[in-house]
Amino acid sequence: MGGAGTGGGAPAPLPCLAESAYSDAFSLNVPDHCVVARYGSDGHDLYPLSLDHGGLFSFDDPLGDLTIERLAVPKGPSGMITLAGVVGPLNAGAEFQTGWLWAHGLPNTPWTLFANSGGGFANGHFWDSLLAFDGTQRVHRWRVVHLTATLGITDGTTSRLLYGGQSELLPFTQALTVAPGLWAADFDAANPAAPTSMHLVDSVAPEAINRLAHDRRGAVFARASEVGVFDTKLLAWPANAVAPAQGGTASHSVLAMLPGQSLLSSDLCAMTLDSDQGLVLYQPYHVGTSTLGDIMMQRYDASGATITPIGTPATAIAPTQSDDAGSLQMVTDPDGNLWLVVGSSIFLITPEP
């Protein structure tokens, strides 16, 4: 059984809802999972839906004042998402008024990380920024050449930031080495400060990683596209190759080739199944028709030294109203449950009892 309550206290087990409880919004074809809750938004803006140590949140930057809007989730199978509180305005600095791209927590730390595209062009490169906040205070700012995706994982002792980009996390005085690919920066979870180590895990050139996700076993997945080419790949790294404090390089496997799909595609999530299998979920943007499609899934097998695909991509979640395709958002919580936004509603999808 699944449970609600992310951002609102300890979860309570919930049974599967009847299909009629959500069929007006979407159809579900995710194996061994079901919808256990449906909530209204009560007028609150659910975009962009994010997750950190405090639970579900969205963020906004009206007039340059960056704020976190924390969401309280009912513990039952229905009800309204309410505003649990507003954190901010955050002390981002006068140089960061707009350009916020995404946000999430770094597990086992008090940090919420925000990516910002306001780094400008200098020394022959386009720069982005990654900011770490503890409450309302900015505790770190790093610059990265062409930051395209970030992901936080932990083993309880070390918290690792995995990111798609073209350089180390740079303070202003550090020399620049440009190397596009998947990077890792490790932090002491008990006393996070500067990274304890940092290295390039895997070069995926000529592609650029534009989304990252992980499953409950620690395997990591990416969507990557070559700039100027309207094709996308789904990549995978086994858990032992990218685990926190794991040094050295790792090689990716390709789960699927997705022709005609661009960098504009939306969220990426991974869900664990039994028997060392799982699913990578993604929403494609079809270049030929300039439209967002249904949420698709690629099944995989993680039992071997490399992660291998099972079959080909299939439809996982299809919105009932085609106009809702543009409103779809998804994020997984630490328990592996999927939170899905369709229109003004949010749904909780968990493993079947």
- pLDDT value of position 219: 96
Cβ(184)–Cβ(161) below 8 Å: yes
Which pLDDT score, from 0 to 100, does residue 42 have?
80
State residue 108's pLDDT score: 94
Q: Is the peptide bond before 206 cis (omega within 30 degrees of 0)?
A: yes
Task: Please answer whether residues 12 and 5 qualify as being in contact, where contact means their C-beta atoms are separated by less than 8 angstroms.
Answer: yes
Question: Of 194, 75, 216, 46, whose CA–CA distance to 132 is shortest?
Answer: 194
- What is the model's pLDDT at position 229? 66
238 neighbors 301 (Cβ within 8 angstroms) = no
pLDDT of residue 89: 87
User: What does DSSP say about strands 291-292 and 285-286: parallel, antiparallel, or unpaired?
Assistant: antiparallel
Q: What is the mean pLDDT of each run of 10 residues along the chain (353 residues)?
A: 47 87 97 96 86 91 80 94 90 74 94 86 85 92 92 95 92 72 94 89 87 95 80 93 93 90 75 93 80 91 95 96 85 94 94 89
What is the predicted pLDDT for the residue at 177? 76
Report the pLDDT value the prediction gives residue 91, as an integer from 0 to 100. 81
pLDDT of residue 46: 87
| CA distances for 54 relative to 78, 135, 206, angstroms | 21, 10, 37
| 177-183 contacts at long range (C-beta below 8 A, 24 or more positions apart) | 178/125, 178/145, 179/203, 180/146, 180/204, 180/205, 180/208, 181/205, 181/209, 182/209, 182/222, 182/237, 182/242, 182/252
The rounded distance, in Å, linking the Cα atoms of 113 and 102 is 8
Residue that has been written with the tokens 């982005």 in this structure: 128
**Cα separation of 282 and 136, whole Å?**
32
d(CA 224, CA 232): 6
